[in-house]
Structure 1
Amino acid sequence: MADRSFLQWPFFEDRHRAWAQEVEAWAATHAEALSDEHDADGSVQRLARAMGEAGLLRVPCPADGRLDARSLCIARDILARHSGLADFAFAMQGLGTGPVTLFGTDAQRERLLPGARAGTSLAAFALSEPEAGSDVAALATTATPDGNGHWRLNGRKTWISNGGIAASYIVFARTGEAPGARGLSAFIVGADAPGLTIEARIDVTAPHPLATLAFADLRVAVDDLIGKPGEGFKVAMGTLDVFRATVGAAALGFARRAFDMTVERASSRKLFGGALFDQQMSQAAIADSAVDVEASALLVYRAAWLKDSGQPRVTREASMAKLHATEAAQRCADRNVQIHGGLGVTKGHKAEELYREVRALRVYEGASEVQRVVIARAEREKAPGAERDSRTSTS
C-alpha cells in the first residue's frame, strides 16, 4: 500500500481520512478487476455502475450541491494508483455534471444528478473544438434562439471524454452577448437529441472513451440553459477551478504507483553481485521521485484545501498543482521504466502502462504550457499597479 501519512496533514479532517479508507477498500478489490484497456467503453460503464452501487459517486455528484475538492482529490489519488480507467470513470461523472451541480437549477439537478450518482447515466463535458482547445474565447460552435422557446446548436466538439457513451453532454456554445469569452453559454444536451451525431471515435495512447461530436440544427430547450445567456465562460471556469487540481491528484496517484514499483524493483533486482538499489544512480532516481511525489501532494492538497476553505478562485494554485504534479508524474513514470529495463518497455507491463497513462495528463484540461501562462499572468496581476488581464483564466 502506498504511503498514507499525508492524510495526517492539517489539510484534512477525520471525514477525509474515513473517505480515503472507503475508496481504498473499494479500489483494492474492484478497480483493476473491472478495467480492461482493450474495452475502454465497457470498462468505464462497468466501473461507473460499480462505483454508483458502492456509493462512491455521491462525492462527484453530491445531492446537496456542494463539491468537496479534498475528497475529490483523495479519490483520484487513490483510484489512479490502482487503475487509470477507474480514475477516469470517477472524474468524468464529476466533470460532466459539475456545471449543473455548481450553477444549475434545482430542476436540472434533479434531472441529471441521480442517474450520474448511481453510475447508470454517464456524463460528459463538451468544451474543446478542433480549432479551440486551450483558447476558450475562440469557440466556434453557435447557439441561436429560434423564437419558439429553443436554441439551435451548430458546430463540432472534439476530444470529448465519454463521447459516444455518455447519456448527457454539457455543451458550451457562442451565443454572442459580447465578444470573445464573454459571449458563451452552457447547455445540457441529451445523447439522443436529434441533430447530434458521433462523428468519430478517437484512439489515444492510453485507451479511454473519446469522440468528436457534431451538432446540426440541434434544438435545445430554454430550460436546458445553465445559468444565464453569456455566462458560459463563468460556468466553465468555475467548474475547472474545482476539477483542475484533481487532475494533479490523478497524476499524483500515478506517480505514487510508479515510485512504489521503482523502489520494489531496485530492491529486488540483482545486478553486479548486489541489489540494483546499491547503485548510486538508482538511489538518485528513488530520491528524485520521492521529492516529486511529496511536492506534488503538497501543491495538490493545498489547492483543494483553499477551495474548500471558501477562497472564491484558486486558478493560480490549481494551475500550479496541475503543472507540477503532471510533469513530476511523467518523470516518475520515466524513472520507473528505466529501472525496469526491458520489462519497462514491454507492452502490457504496468510500468509501460503507467508511462502511457501519465502522458495525456500534461495535455488535457489545460496543457502544461497554458498552465505556465496562467501562473505567470496571475503573478503579474499581484504586482503593485498591474492591470487585470481578462485572459488569465484561459483553460
Structure 2
Amino acid sequence: MSDRSFLDWPFFEPHHKKLADELDAWCERELSDAHPTDVDAHCRDLVKRLGRDGWLQHTAGDALDVRTLCLCRETLARHHALADFAFAMQGLGTGAISLFGNDQQKQWLDSTRAGEAISAFALTEPDSGSDVANLTTTAEPDGDDYVLNGEKTWISNGGIADLYIVFARTGEAAGAKGLSAFIVEADRPGLEIRERLHTIAPHPLARLGFNQLRVPKSNLIGQPGQGFRIAMAVLDVFRATVGAAALGMARRALDETAARTQSRQLFGGHLSDLQMVQGHVADMALGIDSSALLVYRAAWTKDQGAERVSREAAMAKLQATEQAQQIIDKAVQLHGGDGVRDGHVVAGLYQEIRALRIYEGATDVQKVIIARSVLTG
C-alpha cells in the first residue's frame, strides 16, 4: 500500500482525501497491469469507463480544481499509465473550452465528461514545439469561415479524437499575438491523419494535416489573437498535473521496490538489510516527498485564485518528472533481471516515465521559465 500520509497535509480539504480513496478503490477494481494489444481500443474503453463512473466530471467545467486533477492523475498513474493518459487528455483537450469557451462551445463538455467524445490538444508542430510563438499553421478568414492549412505533430489522441483544439496563425500581429484557437471536429473535410506515431510507451499519437479545412467562425475560441494566451493558460493549469502523474509512477516504483527488497534473499538475509540498498530507498522516498510538496503547492496556489502559477507549475513538473526518472531507474536496478523483463511493472514504468520529461514543456524549458521568473521578478 502506498504512503497516504500526504493526504493529511494542509494543501487538502476533506473531500480531496475522500476522492483519492474512492478513486484508489476504483482502480483496484477496474484496472490491471496487463499490456493491451490494441492501444486505440483500450484507450477508448478507458475513456468510456472513466466517464461512466463519473471521474471525467473533474476534467472540465467553469471551476477546475487543480488539486483534484493532480490527485486523480497521481492515483491513476500509480495503477495504470494509459488510464492516466485517457483522463488527462480529456482535461487538456478541452481546457481551452473550459477556460475561454462560450455557452454553445461548452456543450462539448457534456460529451467529453461523459466519456462519449474524446478530445485532443493540437499545438505542437514539426518546427515549433516549445517555441509556440513561431507556429506556422494558418487560419485565414473567408466569409463566415476560417480556412486552416498546416501540420501538427505529436498530438495525443491523434487518430481517435472526436474534436481537436487547434492553434493557428490568424495574423493579427507578429509572433505570439497573432495566434488563435479553434474547435475542429474530427469529421471535417481537410483534416488528415498523415502518420500514426509509435513510441517506447504506446499511446495514441499522430501527425495531423490541415488541407483547406474550413471551420465556421463560431468555432473560434475567445477572440482572434488570443491563442497564445489561451494555450499558456491551459498549460498553467495542467502542467502541474504532469508532475502529479510522474509522482504516481514514482510511488508505484517505490512500492514495488520495498516489496522486492524485503522478500529477496541475498547473502543470508534480505536485500533490504544491505545499507547501500537502504540508502537507495531513502533517496527514493526523499525524491517523492519533495516532488509532492512542489506539485501540491502549485495546485493549491492555483486553487486559491492565483491568475498565473507559471513558476510554481514549472518547478513542480521539473522536479517531479526528473525525480521520478531517477526513482524508477533505481527500482529497475534493485529488481535485477526482472527490472528489464518485458511485462514487469517496473520495466513498464521505465518506458512510461521518459516522455513526461518532454511533453507540455521539456525540462530545459521549465528551467528557462524558472530562471526568468527569478531574474525579472
Question: Which residue matches 1:387?
Answer: none
- Mapped partners of 2:367, 2:42: distance in 1: 34
- Mapped partners of 1:374, 1:290: distance in 2: 27
1:1-395 counterparts in 2 under 5 A?
1-32=1-32, 36-62=35-61, 65-110=62-107, 112-146=108-142, 148-382=143-377
TM-score by length of 1: 0.94
How far off its partner does 1:120 sit? 1.4
Instruction: Deviation per CA, 1:262-291: give whole Å up to 9, x if none.
Output: 111111111111111111111111000000
- Mapped partners of 1:123, 1:107: distance in 2: 17
Q: Please tell me the residue identity of whatever aligns with 1:130.
A: P
Structure 2: gaps of 5 or more residues: none
Tell me, what secondary structure is at the counterpart of 1:351? helix
Q: Please tell me the residue identity of whatever aligns with 1:77.
A: E
How far off its partner does 1:313 sit? 0.4
How far off its partner does 1:31 sit? 2.5
Instruction: Deviation per CA, 1:148-180: give whole Å up to 9, x if none.
Output: 110000000000000000000000001111111
Question: Which residue matches 1:385?
Answer: none
Tell me, what secondary structure is at the counterpart of 1:228? coil
Instruction: Deviation per CA, 1:364-386: give whole Å up to 9, x if none.
Output: 0000011001110111111xxxx
Q: Please tell me the residue identity of whatever aligns with 2:374.
A: E
Q: Please tell me the residue identity of whatever aligns with 1:6.
A: F
Q: Please tell me the residue identity of whatever aligns with 1:121.
A: A
- Please say if residues 11 and 301 of structure 1, whose CA atoms lie closer than 8 Å, have aligned partners that are also in contact: yes
How far off its partner does 1:191 sit? 0.3
- Mapped partners of 2:135, 2:165: distance in 1: 14
Instruction: Tell me which stretches of 4 or more aligned residues in structure 1 moved more than 2 Å.
Output: 35-38
How far off its partner does 1:39 sit? 1.8
Question: Which residue matches 1:393?
Answer: none
Tell me, what secondary structure is at the counterpart of 1:38? coil
- Please say if residues 96 and 123 of structure 1, whose CA atoms lie closer than 8 Å, have aligned partners that are also in contact: yes
Q: Please tell me the residue identity of whatever aligns with 2:238.
A: F
- Please say if residues 31 and 79 of structure 1, whose CA atoms lie closer than 8 Å, have aligned partners that are also in contact: no
- Mapped partners of 2:37, 2:351: distance in 1: 14
How far off its partner does 1:22 sit? 1.9
Q: Please tell me the residue identity of whatever aligns with 1:343.
A: D
- Please say if residues 149 and 222 of structure 1, whose CA atoms lie closer than 8 Å, have aligned partners that are also in contact: yes
- Please say if residues 187 and 226 of structure 1, whose CA atoms lie closer than 8 Å, have aligned partners that are also in contact: yes
Tell me, what secondary structure is at the counterpart of 1:242? helix
Instruction: Give the CA RMSD over aligned residues.
Output: 0.9
How far off its partner does 1:103 sit? 0.4
Q: Please tell me the residue identity of whatever aligns with 1:15.
A: H
- Mapped partners of 1:29, 1:45: distance in 2: 18
- Please say if residues 35 and 343 of structure 2, whose CA atoms lie closer than 8 Å, have aligned partners that are also in contact: no
- Mapped partners of 2:294, 2:32: distance in 1: 27
How far off its partner does 1:30 sit? 1.1
Tell me, what secondary structure is at the counterpart of 1:347? coil
- Please say if residues 245 and 303 of structure 1, whose CA atoms lie closer than 8 Å, have aligned partners that are also in contact: yes
Q: Please tell me the residue identity of whatever aligns with 2:360.
A: E
How far off its partner does 1:38 sit? 2.7
Tell me, what secondary structure is at the counterpart of 1:107? coil
TM-score by length of 2: 0.99
- Please say if residues 145 and 217 of structure 2, whose CA atoms lie closer than 8 Å, have aligned partners that are also in contact: yes
- Please say if residues 36 and 43 of structure 1, whose CA atoms lie closer than 8 Å, have aligned partners that are also in contact: no
- Mapped partners of 1:93, 1:5: distance in 2: 29
Structure 1: gaps of 5 or more residues: 383-395
Identity %: 58
Q: Please tell me the residue identity of whatever aligns with 1:373.
A: V
Instruction: Deviation per CA, 1:243-276: give whole Å up to 9, x if none.
Output: 0000000000000000111111111111111111
- Please say if residues 267 and 277 of structure 1, whose CA atoms lie closer than 8 Å, have aligned partners that are also in contact: yes
Tell me, what secondary structure is at the counterpart of 2:158? coil
- Mapped partners of 1:19, 1:6: distance in 2: 14
Instruction: Deviation per CA, 1:31-78: give whole Å up to 9, x if none.
Output: 227x6343211111111100111001000023xx11000000000000
Instruction: Deviation per CA, 1:322-358: give whole Å up to 9, x if none.
Output: 0000000001100000000011011111111000100
Q: Pick which of 259-268 and 163-172 moved more.
A: 259-268
